[in-house]
Structure 1
Amino acid sequence: MERSNRPVPKVAVLIVNAHSRKGEALCSAAKQKLEAAGITLTAAHAVKDPGKLDAIVAGAVRSGAPMVVIGGGDGSLARLVRHVAGTDCVFAVLPLGTANSFARTLALPLDLDGAVETIAAGQLRRIDLGRIEDHYFVNAAALGLSPMIGDTVPHKLKRYLGRFGYLGWAIWCLTRFRPFRLTVEDAKGEHRTWASEVRIFNGRFHGGVELIETTDVDSGDLVIQAVTGRSLWRLAFDWYAKVVRLKSRSANTIEFRGRELRLRTRPRQKISIDGECLARTPVTIRVAQAAVDVVVPSAPSMA
């Protein structure tokens, strides 16, 4: 883990996506708990219109906020981190989404009290970001079944049933999905295969499940993981094997690693970036190394 030498700031702006599954209910509690833990909040925003989040975060960074505390799901974090990337502003996370994959990658507590304690007593970690065209992602992007699920799942299903509702919708989408031809260009050349899902990893988690163990958010590169073949049962088994951590959990996937990778499909596929469909193949995927400081739990003392 690449630690930052800076201390965690004690002054911040709190910005909560109140449209996320838990956001509206927890915004007021988060403000009270952060202030009680010694964090001075110069402003606190409960944003019910997600379209206003970008302007609020960008404004906080421009105003010189030492830290922004973002409450929301993976989609909100991926969309908003670009305003912090390359600046001195620290990015702190309150995991209020359904899967909270980014929080899991950083080993953050998923409960509000634990997340607040981490912000108040944690340390900084300098991490990479993935980049697809003009879009950053903190954790993972995907094409195939995942974008189909993310693009069509009813918001109320996620809001009220959480991961169980998401799983049910995924099974419904699986019966209607078709595999595609995949071409990946890396430093070794072109690689072609049939695929049912492709995951592009900066971190280790996707959909709340650890799907890869060979990379991390400060590894300096990205990994493309493809579920190969034309059988959708292979895709279903791949998810099952990774959820229950079977020894054979990597049997149906191949991986490509690099700082810059080119990806094409036939037919063209939508790309879900941390849960939101923002791009479409063909694309070039790059790593933005050491792009942002995030707050993570303090390492145990070696004394």
Structure 2
Amino acid sequence: MKKLILVYNPISGDATFKYKLDDMIAKFLQRDCIVIPYRTQKENLQPFGHFIRNIEVDGVIIAGGDGTLHEIINIMIHEGIDLPIGIIASGTSNDFASFLGIDVDLDAYIDTIASGETIPIDIGKIGTGYFINVASAGMLTCVAHEVDRRLKNALGKMAYYLRGLGELPHFRAFPMTIHADEHVFSEKVFLFLILNSGTVGSLKNVAVNAKVNDGLLDLLLVKKCKIQDLMSLTAELMAGKNITTRKNVIYLQAKNITIDCAVQLDSDLDGELGPRLPLTITTLPGKMKLFYTKQ
């Protein structure tokens, strides 16, 4: 029998996963998998590294959103824990799982976990931290940190969008210098995204060439433009259209990226507050393994 740790965030998303825990354990037992639940919150994240080092398991299943996923993969990498991960999407934002389609059929995905089939996935590194889906800075990146948790739990992703609309009158561009492999340019930028997947903020098709195991990160910059052009771009993005060819967008792929800004600006990593610019970002190809059926 496989032995798995099921790490779950009791307040993630609509905060109902904890009530489904027994049913989840039963689903795994039906597939000859023993599950060890681990309830995680900010105050006991670090003991998780000690906990997992002292038991012998075949994988780590992470139930939560992108933020929970971010926290656990950072602990695993820092602690040198080389185990495959699985993702049960139960957060407000589940972009990485959504991009891979593993949030569509839970029973089918548990079958995949039980089979032990995995793929390598890339990880982004910034300083001493890591991200699995996206690093960003500029307009809107503060929204995730300013939305009240109770409002987020009640309204879900709509809370982010409502807050973002309220910020529209205050949008401004930031002077940045970007090095992406052999490319170097300076621009006034509303927003930049460095993506491992093609989905961010529940918006699909943001990075049209993104793959989670190609050894590259996708860089997308929205350059300063008129407000009507920005609104048009936003509308196309929300409709799932390809925006990468628009004249006020720079889109490319690179292994190594550095970004500097003439003003103080904080970054966002997978929806969590990241380091202040300048940033040096590197791709770690195949750094982790994910339970996943090869397409």
CA-to-partner distance for each residue in 1:241-275, whole Å, 9 max, x for gaps? 12213365641310243211110112221111000
Supply the RMSD in Å over aligned alpha carbons.
2.2
Matched with 1:119 is: 113
* One-letter amino acid matched to 1:161: L
The alignment's TM-score, normalised by the length of structure 1, stands at: 0.86
Where do 1:195-206 residues align within 5 Å? 195-206=189-200
Matches within 5 A, 1:35-184: 35-41=29-35, 43-47=36-40, 49-85=41-77, 87-110=81-104, 112-121=106-115, 123-184=117-178
Contact 1:196-1:231 at 8 Å conserved across structures: no
Distance 1:146 1:24 in 2: 31
- Alpha-carbon spacing, 1:38–1:145, altered in 2? closer, same or farther (3 Å): farther
Q: Distance in 2 between matches of 1:54 and 1:62?
A: 14
| Contact 1:79 1:136 (C-alpha < 8 Å) held by counterparts | no
1:273 to 249, 264, 269: 269
SS at match of 2:93: coil
AA partner of residue 293 (structure 1): K
Structure 1 gap segments, 5+ residues each? 1-8
Match of 2:202 among 183, 196, 208: 208
Shift of 1:166: 2.1
Hey, what's the Cα distance between the residues in 2 that align with 1:87 and 1:164?
A: 36
Distance apart, 1:298 and its partner CA: 5.2
Structure 1 residue 32 and structure 2 residue 52: aligned? no
On the 8 A contact 1:196/1:232 being kept in 2, the answer is no
- Counterpart in the other structure of 1:290: 286
Structure 2 distance, partners of 1:105, 1:246, is 15
Quote the offset at 1:77 in angstroms.
Answer: 0.6
Aligned residues: 289
Q: Is the 8 A contact 1:238 1:250 kept in 2?
A: no
Q: The residue matched to 1:195 in structure 2 has which SS? A: strand
Contact 1:203 1:216 in 2 (8 A): yes
User: Aligned partners of 2:7 and 2:128: how far apart in 1?
Assistant: 23
Cα contact 1:84–1:90 (8 A) shared by 2 = no
Q: Secondary structure in 2 aligned to 1:205?
A: coil
Aligned partner of 2:188: which letter? W
Q: Check the 8 A contact 2:267/2:277 in 1, yes or no.
A: yes
TM-score (norm 2): 0.89
Range with greater deviation from structure 2 (249-258 or 219-228): 249-258
User: What is the rounded CA distance, in whole Å, between the counterparts of 1:56 and 1:258 in structure 2?
Assistant: 33
* SS of 2:63 mapped into structure 1: strand
Whole-Å separation in 2 of the counterparts to 1:283 and 1:139:
16
Change (3 A) 1:109 1:186: closer
Per-residue Cα deviation, 1:178-230 (whole angstroms, up to 9, x for no partner)? 22112101332530111111001111111111211112111112122101114
Give, in angstroms, the shift of residue 287 of structure 1. Answer: 0.6
Gaps of 5+ in 2: none
